[in-house]
Amino acid sequence: MEQFKRNFNSHLEESIRKHLVNVYTTLSMSTVACILGTYIQLLREIVTPEVGALFAFISLFGFVFVGSTKQMFGIRLSMLLVCSFSFGVSLAPVIQFVLLFNDPTIITTALAGTALIFIGFSLCSILSPSGKWLFLGAPLSTYLLSVTLLRLFMGGNFVLEMYIGLGVFCAYILYDTQLIIERKRMGEGDVLSHSLILFLDLVNVFVELLRILKDKDNKKKKISIIDTPQFQRLRNIKQLGGTYWVFPSSSHNRFEHSLGVCYLGGEMLEKIRSRQPELGITDSDILCVQIAGLCHDLGHGPFSHLWEHFMENANPEAVWKHEECSIKMLDFLIKKNELEDLFHKNDITSRDLIFIKELIVGPDSNIGDDWPYKGRDSDKAFLYEIIANKRNGVDVDKWDYFLRDAHALGLRTSFGYERLLQFVRVIDVPGEGRQ
């Protein structure tokens, strides 16, 4: 370490060293302001991202055109911090998107990686021979202009372009650091402008690194249930079968009905959990109920229930039920699309998968115990009455198609599930447990 300090001190004049200390101190302040802007925007949206970008541009414009005198130092520093804060606000949607759809740890990985890259390339530039990296200015500027024009007219988010972009901004750290040193030697010692240059390099490295990590994370993730061809086929199966030929407006499909049942099942359990925490409803319980709602009609054939009547007439000996076909289709869907890892990642166990199938088709008729289900114990019997209620027929499946079918047919109905959700509770029935 002492040897490194001696080499560092001998390589740079004292005035340069002091200048760099001031530059990196200001850079640290700008970075903190940027992170703070992103954090506050994520926590409580203070302005729209577009307004944040506008504030960043206005403050940057003012910063550039205000004279760099000692009297204006405080004003320019304030403008720089406002610009950094506003820039952080405009970055919030990118961070929020990653938090919602990717592994959140890639954000901390990107931050740590950016810090290491910046420190490493900065030291390399500082310790390199004077002016060694200044030749990079022209080719880097040419590349940025070319990429900007290509994105403007052709679009694109190519993997190779992301890696090249990261390399370019790393090279900019080499170039800008030496440029700052040479400018100081020539008498230009504007600390704030120099820190702004490095701040833009730092942010660009972070953005490019985040894009690369996000792309890698997306490739690791398996497609979801909804994205599979087996689920997408429900877009082409009419909810009311042949009724469409009489009521042309009843053109809705099993696809949107399945989404509705998934939503209502999750809403009901969330309401119950908030009112009755003693029931011990877990996130896994809610997820399983939602998946069951999503997949409960996977087994429907052409024209929905009309297909079942056709099968009864075509082969009277075969007992064909769409619920049984749904769980077979679910097994096929998982295997065909290799969703085992996705299920495991979301903590869905083999018992949970049994539970999902029981929610769709009911208990195994071969089980002779008092409690016929394997997926959940009897203290959670109420979970089996949400998607397909074998007890009294009142379930979210019917809630959805009552309203959806009536709307499509143009029929007036007084039914509404909102009040039911508002007051739904689980009660202990003597001799039967929680229902």
Compute CA distances 59 → 62, 75, 291, 311, whole Å. Answer: 5, 11, 49, 71
Quote the radius of gyration of the chain (alpha carbons, Å): 31
Catalytic site residues?
A: 322
Q: Supply the pTM of this predicted model.
A: 0.55
Q: List, for residues 6-32, the tens digit of each pLDDT value.
A: 655 566 788 888 999 999 999 999 999
For residue 238, what are the β-bridge partners? 253
Q: Which pLDDT band, with edges at 50, 70 and 90, does 414 fall under?
A: confident
Mean pLDDT of the chain: 85
- What whole-number distance in Å separates Cα of residue 421 and Cα of residue 208? 45
- What whole-number distance in Å separates Cα of residue 307 and Cα of residue 218? 38
Contact between 67 and 120 (Cβ < 8 Å): no
- What's the confidence (pLDDT) of residue 230? 92
- What's the confidence (pLDDT) of residue 302? 86
